[in-house]
Structure formats: structure tokens, C-alpha cells
Amino acid sequence: MVETSYYLVLAAIIFTVGATGVLLRRNALIIFMCIEMMLNSVNLTLIALARQWGNLEGQIFVFMIMAVAAAEVAVGLAILIANVRHRQSINIDEINLLKW
Amino acid sequence: MDTALLFDNAVVLLPELVLAVGVMVLMMVDIGRRGQNGSQLLAGLSVAILLLGIGASVMIWGRAPVEYLDGAISDGFALSVRLVILIAGVLGVLLSRNWFPAIERQGGAFYSLHLLAVIGMMLMGTATNLIVLFIALEIFSLALYILSGFYRENARSIEAAMKYFLLGAFASTFFVYGCALLYGAGGSSKFTQIHETLATGGGNPSLVLPGIALLLVGFGFKVSLVPFHMWTPDVYQGAPTPVTAFMSVGTKAAAFAGFFRLMMTALPSFHDQWAMPLAILAVLTMTVGNLTALRQSSVKRMLAYSGIAHAGNILIALVAGTAAASSAAAFYLFAYAFMNIGAFTVTIALERQYGNENDVEQSRLAGAAERFPVLAAAMAIFMLSLSGIPPLAGFFGKFLVFKAAVEAGWAWLVVIGVLNSAVSAYYYLRIVVAMYFQQPEQAGDEKEQPFVPASRSSVFVVVVSVLAVVVIGLQPGLWADLLRGLGQ
Amino acid sequence: MLELAWLILVFPALGALVNLFVGDRLGERGIHVVASGMVVLSFVVSLGLFFGLAGLDEHHRTATVHLWDWITVGSFHAPAALLIDPLSVTMALVVTGVGALIHIYAGGYMHGEQNFQRFFVYLNFFILAMLVLILSNNFVGMFVGWEGVGLASYLLIGFYFDRHDESYGHYADAGKKAFLVNRIGDFGMLLAVFLIWTSVGSVVFEEVHHGAGALTAGAATAICLLLLLAATGKSAQLPLFVWLPDAMAGPTPVSALIHAATMVTAGIYMVARTHFLWELAPVAGGLAAWVGGLTALMAATIALTQVDLKKILAYSTISQLGYMMLGVGVGAYAFAIFHLVTHAFFKALLFLAAGNVMHGLPGGELDIRKMGNLRAKMPTTFWLFLIGASALAGLPIFSGFFSKDGILLHVANFNIPLYLIGLFTALLTAIYSFRAVFMAFLGEARDQHVHDHAHESPAVMTRPLWVLAFLAVVGGALNLPVLLTMEHYLEAAVGAPAFHPNVTMEFVLLAVSAVVAVAGVGLAYGRYVKGPSTGVGRISGGVARLVSPLELVARNKWYVDEFYAAWIVGPLLGLSVWFNQVVDQGVVDRAVNLVGQVSLSLGGNLRKMHNGLVPTYALSLFCGVVALLLWFVIGG
Amino acid sequence: MASDYLPLLILILLAAGFGVIAIGLPTLLGPRERNNQKLEPYESGIIPFSDARRRFPVKYYLVAMLFLIFDIEVIFLYPWAAVLRDLRLFALVAMIPFFIVLVVGFLYEWKKGALDWD
């Protein structure tokens, strides 16, 4: 049996990698994928904790996160496509009509 | 398991259920309609559904708080927040009517999303469980991402949606990570259960504080606390103005409601640890919000920064963390709903007038008082109320929050809050000065333009808002009695 | 009778509403009749209240008229109720009485103005707000009036919003300045109310009075210092007096109303109303006395150098308010209120007379250097102004003499340096008030064009002034021993003074004051009538070299505006710019660049740094995350 | 503890062995002949007429999104199906509103024409 803290640390590392990706990438799609990665690290955390506590709530939470993530993907892609129609680009550095 | 469990206490969620059924009806009506006129029908239907929701809330008002399936509760606080959100919802629908062409084509989608956002916001105030809290947050966030980009012909609107979505999703991950850690700390997703486990020395206390830190990020983003506020002005400016009006109030009310309930029922024993960072956030938020608002030229951006500053004020109530403070926050949000939506409505009416599709520059307001005396007078009242001049509604929101904070021993925070509201008078007043005390630069051109009357529904919204701001100010006790805090 | 006290508020409210909604159908005359009629009715009600109170037993002359339960939240209770006692009735009489005269006068003054209707709506609203302020029986109600007065003054001072000239800049800015400076005072007021509520548990004056014994000295001092901040804002004391001279930008009746009857007296009234707190906080009282004394002195020196008739009067108001503040500071509440009343009479008179001058001269000339010998052209106004100036200068028999002397008497007992400051200010007061009289009305005409076109004002603008002139002369009798003792009358509300001077001292000081006042007039006569008629009033001879730097400072209003511009407004705007440009665009962008460079060295695949906005926002959010995590994990 | 992983190890060895045998044996035994036909991506069927990484209609995205949303609902049905036998009526009743919502959503996209290809 592997200790829970290992999972938590692994999840934290994945989360941080995802967050770094969000900060560094300029392609909206890749940023988006990084966000999904962060969500999945949270799922890992929840599963590990649910196992530690021996109850199902953490696992239910994971289901919900997956469903929400799917909805988020759908909405996000739709917005992205709408944006491409205006700008022909998914580089977020070019999105700056609205500023100070 | 007993099937009756599903129905026992389901009345707790009556307003949400009414709206949910209403959304489905709305969607069915939408696919059944033919031609253009249906859009008005859909607007009427949405208003009717929301009014039914208000009726449902009133029906269960005053009942003893009961919990539904460990996930939602109907106490006075939840009902108060629901009322604020439903009112914002009704006013938002009324404003959207006729606002932009997309409504004509896609009215069904627009109003369904609008109602879904309302459902999510209301759930946020009733949730007593991390999972429900998260789902509620996502329901209204996703709906709002789409609504902010609904003006598809306008590049700014799409850009607002894009920014809101990317940053919102990013912030949500922190929020949900915080939920996970809190679950790990308390071994349950139920607020009260987490509190009990931790208070009796069980659980993993080492996960609590990082969990709180991450949850703060998620909430901080939604209510736009500095430094999580950067999206606010862009999205407020880019989104269709009726949507901005609705979400500026609804998001704040919902997120603060969830925030209050989580911090005060799951984590009251850690008040000493979280109060100070929240106080610092409040100071930052008020100060940065107000100072940045001083330099804005667009009305919508100015209102966005003012919204940030108001979030800082409401946060003071959470720092105090008492029952009285939570009811003060409910009152604040109630007052804020009217004055803020009112201000945006006047902005909408002026947008129409100036033909400047989705925003108004402050310089365009010069001389507005002579051309639109009624609109200008209403705007002046909203501005005075927002800056906290008694005896208007906004003053009592601030007053009650500050009072609760002083009682809880946060006098220094109140000093900063009051100083900040003195600063805020400057930019609110600048609107009044522009409207009353300045001449339009090209007087000739402006007067040539024919007068475009505001739509009837926005006139209605302005009238209701003005009346509310004045009446709440004259009889604040009545409303303060009605709107309850946690544990009251 | 006392139960009808609410009528006093209803009339001006009604006047404002009627004129607001149907004013355009009433015509100028109708508007004027409605507006002044309502204030006169209020005055009648005030008189009724006065006699109603007089009928009560001397020690129980106080009544509360409960209107409705306004705010009740938990244990916090603020009723909408009126407190009727000698203090509030005295104030109400002044406000409605002087206010009514000013309303009547304004009908003539504003004749033919474009926004006649709006003017009277604001004016009635002003009276209403002031009455709410003085009649409320609790701090919250008082605060409502307090803010209302600020708002009304802002609307009225900025009334000529489309004008701008050298001496006032943009007129609208003057209104904004008044409002914002007042907000700083309001800040003190609001905090004081919170502090009172948390330490006493009530905001109703009567209950706070009874519960004040439980206050610690520290709490009482803190409350009073905050109240002092509020009073310095509203009553234009050091360091917040900057708005008042600019407030002259409003129409002259407004200046008269702000300076004489309403607004600026609010601070003095508030201190007198909360006298029970000040008695617990001698430190705050002492500070108030010094603030008052120094304000009086400073404003008097500035008044001495001004050439604009209205500005002279503006600084004289600040100076006289300094006297009142000095009075309340040393505990002579009754005398401070007495001076407030007499000041209301003669200052309203002076302003309205100045308004006549302005009205009668071509182009609304106000520069006293261009006047001279106006007595020939406007004799009535001359006599009126002379009476007002005599009262201001504190010449014996005139009302100002008695009230000012009462304050000085108490100050002499309190602190000798302060008394000397007060006395010296009295001398300056006599000089500058008669400098104005002599330069404007006597001597020879210095600008023939102005002189030729000068004319007397119509009767509607002189008759109300005779009433004021009468009061300015005999107002002192209100407090004549044995006859009518206002001091004694007010005792029920503000308490008996702790100090009773003996008769010898009283007469000695009275004589000193009289001599000083007369000497001041004499000096002014020697300088401005006998002396060369060209100067601005420069002191000549050997003394000049000594005092000229000081005079330069005084003529520039002690550089207070410049100080604010350099140290307060500038930095605040700077901070805002700093937030906008340096923090948002500089620091955050730099941080983005830094992250980029780190990633360059790590991954090596980023080409060039971009200053995109979404990454910036995400970074800001992420910095918040890191800061919070550090706080909670390391700090917690 | 370590014995828990023994089946896994055996499985990995078997899989790897199968792979090695399946690739190695033909290499050893089979005849070798190089010609152009063999280098085509598809030995039988149509000759590629353009690059596979070209732009394709945005409608693919739309369908993909719609599929995704409905697909993800399966994760709720799986656990539900697993416990249906134990929970009986409770589970059945609880699933009804869920399905109503799905059906309404499906009808909406259908009638709105989101599924029409042209």
C-alpha cells in the first residue's frame, strides 16, 4: 500500500506543471489543455483522499469534476471558435482590444 | 433505500426546481416557435418563470431551516440571497429584451442560459456541501461565459468571453483543488461535518490552511478581489451591457453567499487564521479598486472598478465573521443590486442614444442633464447611493457592514473602509458633474441627433431601481429585518 | 404644539417638491412665493416651538417628537425623531428666520436668471437638510442632514457651472472642492458615530448623554477628536477651511446662507450638542480651542489682504467660526451659540449688502480697489453695510461686541496666550472690516466708469436687510443680564458653564475689547481714509520692511492651497497613475518578462517576449495564489 | 505486499513476450522484398490524394462537442447501473429527472439543427 501523501505530492506537482503551462503558453488551446491537466491532478488528489478516508464522497466529487470539465471543454471550444472567426488566431497575445 | 428520501424536504429547493422546470419549458417553447415575434414571448415567459421563483421563495420564507440530502439548506440567509439574485435576474431579463439582434435569433438560448445562471447562483447560496458548491459555481460560471460572448458580431464581446473563460477556468481549478484539500482535511464534503471533525481534533489539520488559501482564490476571482480582479473591467466592458448589469450583481451575491456559508459553518474554528489575510485582501481591493476607478474614461469600466471596491467593502463583513455581519452583507447586496443595475440601465439608455453600441465614454455625458433630465436625475441618485450618501440605500449597506465590523473589533479596517468611500465620492461625483455641470463639446452635433427613447422595459427598471434605492434608504429597518444572516 | 414639530420639515420639503414638479407653470413670481412662503411657515412653526418650550418648566425644556422607527437592526436602533430643546429651537429660529429673509432677497437677486426654478428647489432643499441636521435626536439622523447640507451646498456653489474666471477658476470645481473637503470631515463623523455606538450602545443623544459616564477618557477623547475632524470640515477650520473661500463662486444669497445661517454653523452646533462628550475629553477641547484660535488669527490676516469684497467676508466668516470653535473648545457653549446667532444676523446682512453692491455695479464688480465713494450712489446699502461691519468689528452696543466678548471672557480664564490671540484677532477684525467699508464706500471714486454706472438696488433687496440690520444692532440684547438671558435659556440643553467670572474682571475685559475694537477702526480710518488712497492697504514706513514678508504670505492665503496641491492632491493622483501605469503595466509586465526569461533558460523554445494581457491577468492571479499559500502555510 | 503485484508482473512479461515473438518471428522467417507498393501507407485501397493534416469543416468540432457532452453522462450511468439492483426504486426514481434533462437537451439541439450536416 502506497502512502496517501505520495499521491498528494504527485498531484501537487502535476497541478503546478499545469499552472506553469497556463502562465507560459500563448496558444489558447494548449492553455486549455493545461487547465484540464490541473483538474485531473485534483481528481487524483480526491481519489487518494477518498481512499484514505474510506468513503465515497471523494469519488463522487471526481465524477462531478469530470462532467463539469466536459461541459467546460464544450463551452471553451465554442468560444474559441467564435474568437477565431473574428481574429483568425488563437494566440492570446493578440487578444487585447479591451485594456486599461 | 427509501424513495421518500428524495422528496422529503425537497421544498428547500423549490425556487431552483421551479426555475429548472421553467428552463426546460422555455427550451421547448423555443424549438416550437416560428418567426421573429417569439423572442418577446420568450422574454415574457422568462420573467414569469423568475416571478414564480420569487413566489416560491416567498412561500418557503420563514420556515424552520431544513436540509435536503446533506446538500442544500433553506435558512434565512439562503432566502435573502435568493431574493437578491432573483431580482437581479428579473431586471436583467427586462434589460436584455430588444437589446441586441442576437436576442431575436437566439432568444431561447439567451434566456435559458440567463435562467440557468440564476439557478446556479441561487444554489451557491443554499449549498452546504463542497460538491454542490462546486457544481453551483460552475453552472453559473459556464452560463456567464457564454452570455458575455453573446454579442457575437462584436469582437469585444467575444474577447470578453474568451478572457473570462480562460481566467475563470484557471481560477476554478484552484477552487476545486481547495475543495479537495478541505475534503481531505475533514473527511467529508459536508460543511458541518468538516467543522465537527476538525473541531474534535480529528482529520488532517495540515491540509486545512492550504485548502483555505486555494478556496480564497476561487471566491476571490468570482467576487473580484485584488489581485484576482484583473478580468473584471475587461469583461464588464466587453460583455453586452444587460449581461454586465446582471452578472455584476448576481455573481457577487452568489459567490459571497457561498463564501460566507463555507467560512462560517465549515471553518469558524480557523477564523483567527483566515480573518487577517482576508482583511488585507479587503484593504487591497478597496484601495486598488477606488484608485484605479479614478482614472477611467469609460462608464462601464468605471463601474467595474467601483464593483471591485464594493466587493472589498462586503469582504469586511466576512472578516468580522459574525451573524450580524452576514445579515449586513445580505443587506448590502440587496441595496447594491438596485443601485448598480440602475446605473447600468441608464448606461444602456445612453448607449442607445449615442449609437455607441456597447459602451459610453464619460466625456459623452457632458450636458446630459439638459437633454435627458430624468435619466440624469436617476443616474445622479444611483451615483450618490453608490458613494454612500445618506439616506439612500447604499449608505445603509456600508453603515451596517461597518457597524458589524466595529463590533467585532475590526475598527482599523473600518477606518480604511470609510476613508476609501471618501475617495470613491470623487469618481461617482465626476459623473454627476459631467451630466449637470458641463457643456457638451460639440453642442451643435449632439443636439442634431434625434432623441432615441429608452425602451419601456428599461424605463421600468430605472423607475423600480430609483424607488428601491430611496425606499430602502427611508425604511432600512424593514429590509434589514427581512434579510437574514447566517444562524439568524 | 410641540407635537407639530414635524411641520417644520414638511414645509421646505413641500416647497422643493412643488417647485420641482410644477415650478415651470408657476412662473418666477409663483416660485418665489412658494419657496419663501414655505420657509416663512417653517419660521412660524419654530416660533410656535419656542413659545411652546417657554411654557414648560425651566428645567425640563426638552421634548422628543417620535416620527417613526427608522432603523432597527438587532440592538441597533435609530428612530426618526426630532429633539426639541432650547438649543435646537434657537438654531431652528436662526436657520428659518435668516433663511426666510435670504429667500425673499434672492427673489430680487436672481430675477431673470435662467435657472430660477432650480435655484429655489436647491435652496429649499438646503434649508430642509439643515433642519434635519439640527432637529434630529440621534447621530444617524444628524449625519443624514450633515451629508444633505454638503450635497445642497455642492449643487448651489456649482450653480454657475458654466462660468469660470480668474479668481474662482471653473465654478463647478468650487462645488466639487466643497463637497470633497466635506467628505473628509464626514469620515470623522461616521467613525465617531461607530465609536459612540460600540462604546455607549446607543446613537440617541439623550441616551448617549446618560451613558456617557461609562466612557473611558481615552474613548471620549478619540470620539471627540473624530468629531473635531468633522467640525473642521463643515465649519471650515484649520486645516480644512480651503473650500469656503471658493464657495463664493455660488450666487450671493447662497454665500449668505452658507456663511450665516446654515452649513458652517453645523460644526459648532454639533460640538455644542455633544457637549457632554467634550466635558469628558479636555484634551480634545483644548485642541479645538487652539484650532479655533489659530484659524481665527490666520483667516483674519488673510482677510486683511483680500481685495474681493466677498472674499473678505468669506475669510471673516472663517475667522468668526474660529471664535466660535474657540468658545466651544473652552466650554463656553452658550456663548458660542450666542455668537453663532449674532454672527448669523450680521454676516447675512454683510453678504446681502455685498450682493447689493455687486448687483449695482457694472459687471458685478467686487474689487474694492475699483470702488470708493459708493456712499453717494447707494446710501441705503452703505448704512446697512456699515451696521454689519460695526457688528463684525465688535464695536460696543452692536451685537457682535457682546457675543465675542463673552467668548473672550471664558478664554481669558482658560489660557492667556489664546486670549491674546483672540484679542489680536479682534483688532485685525476691526481693521479689515472697516478697511472694506472705507475703501468701498468712502474716499473718492477710484474707477470713474464703475462709479458712474453704480445704482441702488430695488426695495425687495433692501427691505429684508433692514430686519437683519435691526437684529445685528440689538441682537446683543438677547444676552443682557437680567433682561433676556439666552445663556441661561440654553443651559437646559448645553449645561451650565463651569466658570462664572466675577463682575470686575468682566468689566475690565469688556473695556479692553471695546478699546481694541475702536482702535482697530481708528487705524483703518487713518490708513484708508486719511492715508494715500491708491494702495491695496500696504503698511508703510519702517514697519513695512519688517512685516512685508508676512504680508506676502498672508496675501497668498498662507499657501494652503499650494500646500494641498503639492502634498495631497498631487500624490493621490500620482498614486493612481502609479497604480495604472507602474503596477499594472510596469511591475506586472516586467514580472511576465521575468517568467519568460526563466522559461527561456529552462525550455529554450520561447521566441520573444509578448506583453499579452491574459497571461498578465493569469500571472496576477497566480501571484495571489502564491502569496496566500505562503501566508497560510508558512505564516499559519 | 510485493506479492500483490506478481500477477501484474506476469502480465507484463507475457505481453512483452508476445510482442517480441509477433515481430521477431516474421522478421526471421519471412522473405524480404522492397518495392514502392510496400512503402504506401495503405497497401490496398485508395492512393492518398492530399496531406492528412488539412483544414476540415468546423462542423466536426460541433459534433465532437455535442458527442462529448452526451458521452460524459455515461460516467453517471455506470455507477448507477452497478448499484441499481441494491437501491431498486430509489435509483430508478432518481434517474428519471436526469434523463428528462438529457432528453430535453437532446431535443433542443436536434430541433435547433445542430445535428444537420448541411
Residues of C in contact with A93 (CB under 8 A): 610-612, 615
Q: Between residues A1 and B473, which one has the greater pLDDT?
A: B473
- Residue among A29, A56, A65, A77 with most chain D CBs within 10 A, to mutate: A77
SS3 call for C320: helix
> D86 lies in a domain?
yes
Q: If you average pLDDT over residues C440-457, what whole number do you get?
A: 75
Q: Which residue has the higher pLDDT, C10 or B143?
A: B143
Residue C553 neighbours by CB under 8 Å, 6+ apart: C559
Cα(C507)–Cα(C513) distance, rounded to whole angstroms? 10
Judged by a CB distance cut-off of 8 A, whether residue B21 touches chain D is no
Domain boundaries, position B261: 4-482
Query: Tens digit of pLDDT for each residue in B267-290?
Result: 999 999 999 999 999 998 998 888
What's the pLDDT score for residue C524? 73
pLDDT for C322 beyond 80: yes
d(CA C329, CA C267) in angstroms, rounded, equals 12
CB contact under 8 A, B237 and A98: yes
**Inter-chain contact B24–D94, Cβ cutoff 8 Å?**
no
Instruction: pLDDT band for C571, please (50, 70, 90 cuts).
Output: low
Same-domain status, D66 and D22: no
pLDDT at C110 over 80: no
Stretch B97-104: mean pLDDT, rounded?
Answer: 74
Q: Is residue D51 part of a domain?
A: no
Nearest CA in chain A to B137: A68
ipTM of the shown complex: 0.86
Q: Which of B462-476, C236-250, C401-415 has the lowest mean pLDDT?
A: C236-250
Residue B440 makes CB contacts below 8 A (sequence gap 6+) with B366, B367, B446
Inspect the interface and report whether the beta carbons of B237 and A79 lie closer than 8 Å: no
pLDDT at C8 over 50: yes
Q: Is D45 domain-assigned?
A: no
If one compares C257 and B259, the residue with the highest pLDDT of the two is B259
Give per-residue pLDDT as tens, C204-214: 888 888 887 77
Cα(C120)–Cα(C111) distance, integer angstroms: 12
Residues B324, C176: C-beta atoms closer than 8 Å: no
Place of cell 427550451: B27
Q: Which of B170, B389, B426 sits opposite C151 (nearest CB)?
A: B389
Given a cut of 90, is residue B245 above it in pLDDT? yes
**Highest mean pLDDT, choosing among A45-54, C25-34, C135-144, C505-514:** A45-54
Q: C153, C176 in Cβ contact below 8 A?
A: no
Please indicate whether, in this complex, the C-beta atoms of B210 and C613 are within 8 angstroms of each other: no
Whether C55 shows a pLDDT value over 90: the answer reads no
From the list A19, A91, A99, the residue facing C622 with the nearest CB is: A19
Closest residue in chain C to residue B209, using alpha carbons only: C632
**A12 at D interface, C-beta within 8 A:** no
Give the percent of chain C with pLDDT over 70: 80
Environment class of B28 (CB within 10 Å of its CB; exposed 0-12, middle 13-18, buried 19+): middle
Q: What is the mean pLDDT of residues B256-277?
A: 92
Model confidence band, residue C556 (pLDDT cutoffs 50, 70, 90) = low
D76 is a domain residue? yes
For residues C280 and C209, what is the distance between their CA atoms, to the nearest angstrom?
A: 11
Give the three-state DSSP class for A100: coil
pLDDT at C548: 55
- Which amino acid, residue B14? L
**What's the mean pLDDT in C31-40?**
86
Least confident of B220-229, B262-271, C344-353, D35-44: D35-44
Residue D49 lies in a domain: no
Q: Is the pLDDT of residue D105 over 80?
A: yes
Comparing B103-107, C251-255, C585-589, the range with the smallest average pLDDT is: C585-589
- Residue C67, pLDDT score: 80
For residue range C91-107, what is the model confidence (pLDDT) as tens digits?
888 888 888 888 888 88
Q: What mean pLDDT comes out for the span B198-208? A: 88
Average pLDDT on C616-620 reads 83
C600 vs C231, higher pLDDT: C231
- Give the pLDDT of residue D42: 63
**3-class secondary structure for C547-558?**
HHHHHHHHHCHH
Least confident of C283-292, C365-374, C606-615: C606-615
Give the integer Cα–Cα distance in Å for B79 and B62.
9
Whether residue C566 has pLDDT greater than 80: no
Are A68 and B145 in contact (CB < 8 Å)? Answer: no
C112: exposed, middle or buried (C-beta count within 10 Å: 0-12, 13-18, 19+)?
Answer: exposed
Pick the most confident of B395-399, C19-23, C420-424. B395-399
Mean pLDDT, chain C, integer: 76
Q: Which residue has the higher pLDDT, B3 or B46?
A: B46
pLDDT at position C610: 32
Q: Does C622 touch chain A (CB under 8 A)?
A: yes
> Which chain B residues touch D101 with a CB distance below 8 Å?
24
State the pLDDT at residue C608: 32
Mutate to test the interface with D, among A62, A73, A79 (most CBs of D within 10 A): A73
List, for residues D50-104, the tens digit of each pLDDT value.
Answer: 666 666 677 777 788 888 888 888 888 888 898 888 888 888 888 899 999 999 9
> What predicted TM-score, i.e. pTM, was given to this entire model?
0.83
Is pLDDT above 90 for C249? no
| Residue C136, SS3 per DSSP | strand
Q: Which of C450-472 are b and which e, b meaning 16 or more Cβ less than 10 Å from the residue's Cβ?
A: bbeebebbeeebbebbebbbebb
Predicted local distance difference test score (pLDDT) of residue C536: 44
Number of separate domains in chain B: 1
**pLDDT of res. C585:** 43
pLDDT digits 0-9 by tens, C450-508? 777 777 777 777 777 888 888 888 877 776 655 556 777 777 677 766 666 677 777 77
Predicted confidence (pLDDT) per residue in C391-440, tens digit: 888 888 788 888 888 888 888 877 788 888 888 888 888 888 888 888 88
Q: Are strands C76-84 and C164-165 parallel, antiparallel or unpaired?
A: unpaired
Instruction: State whether B234 and A98 contact (CB < 8 Å).
Output: yes
Q: Is the minimum CB–CB distance between D64 and chain B shorter than 8 Å?
A: no
Q: What is the pLDDT of residue B112?
A: 93
Q: Which of B235-249, C173-187, C258-272 has the highest mean pLDDT?
A: B235-249
**Does some domain include residue B487?**
no
pLDDT band, very low/low/confident/very high, at C597 (cuts 50, 70, 90): very low
Average pLDDT, chain B: 88
Q: State the pLDDT confidence band at C533, using cuts at 50, 70 and 90.
A: very low
Report the Cα–Cα distance between both ends of chain C, in Å, rounded: 65
- Residue D33's region, left for phi above 0, alpha for psi from -120 to 50, else beta, is beta
**A29 and D CB contact within 8 Å:** no
pLDDT in tens, D38-64: 666 665 666 666 666 666 677 777 788
Return d(Cα B403, Cα B410) in angstroms, integer: 10
Per-residue pLDDT, C603: 29
CA distance A52 to chain B (A): 8
Residue A62 has pLDDT above 70, yes or no: yes
> What pLDDT shows up at residue C187?
81
Radius of gyration of chain A (CA): 17
Alpha-carbon distance of C155 to B433, in angstroms, equals 10
Residues of B in contact with C73 (CB under 8 A): 324, 327-328, 400, 476-477, 480-481
Q: Which CATH class is domain A4-89?
A: mainly alpha
Residue D99: which domain range? 59-111
Chains C and D touch (3+ CB pairs under 8 A): no
Residue C276's alpha-carbon distances to B289, B460, C279, in angstroms, are 40, 49, 5
CA distance B437 to chain C (A): 5
**What pLDDT shows up at residue C576?**
43
What's the confidence (pLDDT) of residue C588? Answer: 40
